[in-house]
Chains A and B, each alone.
Chain A
Amino acid sequence: MIKLEEVTKDYVLDQDVVFAALKGVNVEIKDGEFTSIIGPSGSGKSTLMHIIGLLDQPTTGKVIVREKDISKLNDDELSTLRSEVVGFVFQQFNLINKLTVIENILLPTIYARKKFDYDPKEKALYLLERFGIKGKEYSYPNKISGGQQQRVAIARALIMNPDLILADEPTGNLDTKTGDEIMKLLKELNDEQKITVVIVTHEPDIAAKTNRSIRIVDGKVV
């Protein structure tokens, strides 16, 4: 579904000091996969994930989403594609604390261009129930536990019915038990709903739970 060809990413640190975070990466994520991207800290995992998730563009190389080169897309088209294809889950949850749980989950829908063939609010309530946080819909994110926050973030990632969930160290801020629960939940989504899941992690234990691992070291896939 998403293919990266010879992708590089340079960060300009100073006038002529350039840091190569990605050095020619070829990766293909296939429909329905449950994959991890593993590598030590600073190896370029997040950079890679942001490029896969259309948040960032490569310095050189191609990103192909569903057979389409996205380099020709403008900012609005990228935003729309991002909203319809990708759901992000972050290590720090990245919920908006001034909105309630249900409002956070529904936030992507206010930016949506597509017509919904389902009721997003119903879906949000269903997800909350499914994730065992029913009753928290009108709580504010900073008033619930980390595990619950990450569930809300996953519900938010799912609200648009994306094809791909990109999770950047989703268990990084959670204790082992809660982390395992989150991993189980992601696995279930993959099994039951055939949603493609890519998990970025530096922990081999987490990577071991996925079906495929892409190992990245110093900006290169090894």
Chain B
Amino acid sequence: MNYFFLILKSAFFDFNRNKGRTILTSLGILIGVLSVVLLTAFGLGLKKYISDQFESLGTNNLRIVPGKPLQGGSFSGSVAAIRFDERDFQNLKRVKNLQFVIPIFTSSVEVIVSKHKESSTLYSTTNDIFAGLNLKTTYGELFTKNDDEKRSKVAVIGPKIAEKLFGTAQSAVGQPIKVSGSSFKVVGVLESKGGGFGGPDLDSYVYIPSKTGYLFNTDKKFVAFIVKAKDSANLEVAKTDLKSALLKRYKDDQFSIIEQTEILNAVSSIFSILNTVLVAIAAISLVVGGIGIMNIMYVTVSERIKEIGIRRALGARKMDILSQFLIESVILSLFGGVLGLGLAAVIVFFIRAFFPAYIDLQSVVLALGVSSGIGIVFGVLPAKKAADLSPIEAIRYE
């Protein structure tokens, strides 16, 4: 007769007899595993979402911004905040091997159509922005270089704000909108880039030609440049050249030239830390679940003293009794773990409809490993108590 078969049979008999208790105990682990796996899935999803967003902003791009935003405290400390101007724009354009240099001025604005008001981010920039960020229209046209020269009062708007203002994206084309008091004609509505979820709401941006934007940007400054090298191999060279161009006017610590991947890494690492902290907090519930298991295993042991005595009389060693109760607590914990994992999978499945959360193999292995581990760690004291019972006292126990 198989050793494990009889131990498992005996375990499952007790689980079955004490169904309510077994389920409640497993529930502790279930909740712990569920929250850890879910949070991890969200973290993974968020990471993927962020990198997708950056991907959609175009690769091979460099951003030139004031200060050292990736080294903490962007404009703080002794470093005086600078703002770029037309002279910088012209200097940068002279750097070799660049596809284009895009000046950017942004401001928060209110966009009004008749009585309807929406807040938005205004991008005053050149038409190169569309190529640089892979922006295409679904309806209408992009504004052109000519629009910039002529300071045309035209706007290209994101699909989300278009729908909010006009009901449908299509009906926005050709219509007038009021941006901070000035009237613009919507010439195009962009394809959706996704977004929201605390990230930039790209689909609600309003883009107007750079020079037209001097309306709002009276001192003609830029908050950033997006620079695209002719090809990715030239990125490093371009970076060096751009830097020396800017160093003619500014000190090294007054500006940064940032690759998209650097931003991506910086943002990802912030979210990773945040996620790790959340997972660690959720892990506390696993410990609580483990204590529940320990508690119930003590109860089980004291209910089965006689059985332990009988087994010892029949030749069971301490080790046999210890492993019997350890196996039971691992099963109990693993049961909760598997249910928690299953429930997490179901929830993630539904969440995927609107957020790219996912459970990776590592989470599965970890969830099962950790719940078995909890069974062992929190089962060992009760099991040891069972094993250390004196055979004679156990068998005499009524």
Q: Which residues of A contact B (CB under 8 A)?
A: 50, 53, 55-56, 75-76, 79-80, 82-84, 88, 90, 94-96, 98-99, 103, 106-112, 120-121, 156, 160
Known pairs A76-B319, A90-B395. 9 more at Cβ < 8 A?
A55-B313, A55-B395, A98-B10, A98-B13, A99-B10, A106-B1, A107-B6, A107-B314, A108-B314
Whether B314 contacts A50 by the Cβ 8 Å rule is no
Q: Which of B28-36, B229-237, B239-247, B304-312 participates in binding chain A?
A: B304-312
Give bound CA distance, A143 to B309, whole Å: 22
Whether A83 contacts B13 by the Cβ 8 Å rule is no
B199: chain A residues within 8 A (beta carbon): none
Contact residues of B: prevailing secondary structure: helix
**Residue on A nearest B392 in the bound complex, by CB:** A56
B14: chain A residues within 8 A (beta carbon): 98
CB distance from A78 to the nearest CB of B (A): 9
Residue B209 CB within 8 A of the other chain: no
Whether B10 contacts A96 by the Cβ 8 Å rule is yes
B311: chain A residues within 8 A (beta carbon): 96, 107, 111
21 interchain pairs (CB within 8 A)? A53-B313, A55-B312, A56-B391, A56-B392, A76-B318, A83-B315, A84-B315, A94-B395, A96-B307, A98-B13, A98-B17, A103-B1, A103-B6, A103-B9, A106-B6, A107-B6, A107-B311, A110-B2, A111-B317, A111-B320, A112-B315
Residue B316 CB within 8 A of the other chain: yes
Give bound CA distance, A165 to B348, whole Å: 61
Whether B9 contacts A79 by the Cβ 8 Å rule is no
A82: chain B residues within 8 A (beta carbon): 313, 315
CB distance from A24 to the nearest CB of B (A): 20
Interface members, chain B 9-31 (any A CB < 8 Å): 9-10, 13-14, 17
Whether B313 contacts A88 by the Cβ 8 Å rule is yes
CB distance from A38 to the nearest CB of B (A): 20
Whether B315 contacts A79 by the Cβ 8 Å rule is yes
Residue B3 CB within 8 A of the other chain: yes
Taken residue by residue from 316 to 328, chain B's Cβ proximity to chain A (1 for < 8 Å, 0 otherwise) reads as: 1111100000000
Give bound CA distance, A103 to B3, whole Å: 11
Q: Which 5 A-B pairs have the closest CB atoms?
A: A83-B315, A98-B13, A106-B1, A56-B392, A108-B314
| Chain B: interface size category | 20 to 34
Give bound CA distance, A106 to B318, whole Å: 19
Give bound CA distance, A110 to B319, whole Å: 13
B313: chain A residues within 8 A (beta carbon): 53, 55, 82, 88, 94
CB distance from B398 to the nearest CB of A (A): 9
**Residue on A nearest B394 in the bound complex, by CB:** A55
A94: chain B residues within 8 A (beta carbon): 306, 309-310, 313, 395
> Given A96-B307, A98-B10: A76 and B317 within 8 A (CB)?
yes
Whether A111 contacts B316 by the Cβ 8 Å rule is yes
Q: Which of B17, B306, B312 contacts A79 (CB 8 A)?
A: B312
B316: chain A residues within 8 A (beta carbon): 79, 111
Whether A120 contacts B317 by the Cβ 8 Å rule is no
> Given A98-B9, A98-B14, A111-B314: A55 and B391 within 8 A (CB)?
yes
Give bound CA distance, A86 to B316, whole Å: 13
Q: Which of A90, A95, A99, A111 contacts B315 (CB 8 A)?
A: A111
Whether A75 contacts B318 by the Cβ 8 Å rule is yes
CB distance from A166 to the nearest CB of B (A): 10
B310: chain A residues within 8 A (beta carbon): 94-96
CB distance from A138 to the nearest CB of B (A): 13
A84: chain B residues within 8 A (beta carbon): 315
Q: Which of B6, B312, B390 contacts A110 (CB 8 A)?
A: B6
Whether B317 contacts A110 by the Cβ 8 Å rule is no
**Residue on A nearest B315 in the bound complex, by CB:** A83
B319: chain A residues within 8 A (beta carbon): 76
B312: chain A residues within 8 A (beta carbon): 55, 79
Give bound CA distance, A51 to B340, whole Å: 50
CB distance from B2 to the nearest CB of A (A): 7
Taken residue by residue from 80 to 95, chain B's Cβ proximity to chain A (1 for < 8 Å, 0 otherwise) reads as: 0000000000000000
